[in-house]
């Protein structure tokens, strides 16, 4: 099982930007069909990458300030962070293989 952290405006900075590991953040909404499809893929990849990367999910209704700060205009979006800075961004649904490849590119 993966250790995906639920993120919001209050814990995003501490959990993701100040983390020792690179991070992957899924911005989603429960009412978005592509987000619903993306969440299990994200969780699968998090389990396969445990210890190498930190994973978190932001429900945009719970973290609107974080979403606005990163210019999240459509969802789902996976934001890849390294040393507290955006290293890459994936917009829309992607397969587990494609997500793993993007993650490998920043590790």
Query: How far is Cα 45 from Cα 50, in angstroms, rounded to an integer?
Result: 9
- Residue 95 to residue 49: CA distance in whole angstroms: 15
> Which residues carry out catalysis?
32, 35
Q: In what order do the strands lie in the sheet with 85-91?
A: 5-7, 54-59, 23-28, 77-82, 85-91
């Amino acid at each position: 099982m993966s250790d995906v952290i639920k993120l919001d405006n209050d814990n995003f900075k501490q959990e993701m930007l100040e983390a020792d590991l690179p991070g992957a953040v899924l911005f989603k909404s429960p009412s978005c069909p592509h987000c619903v499809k993306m969440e299990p893929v994200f969780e699968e990849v998090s389990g396969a990458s445990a210890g190498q990367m930190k994973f978190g999910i932001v429900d945009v209704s719970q973290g609107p300030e974080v979403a606005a700060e990163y210019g999240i205009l459509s969802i789902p979006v996976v934001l890849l962070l390294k040393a507290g800075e955006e290293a890459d961004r994936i917009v829309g649904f992607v397969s587990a293989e494609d997500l793993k490849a993007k993650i490998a590119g920043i590790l």
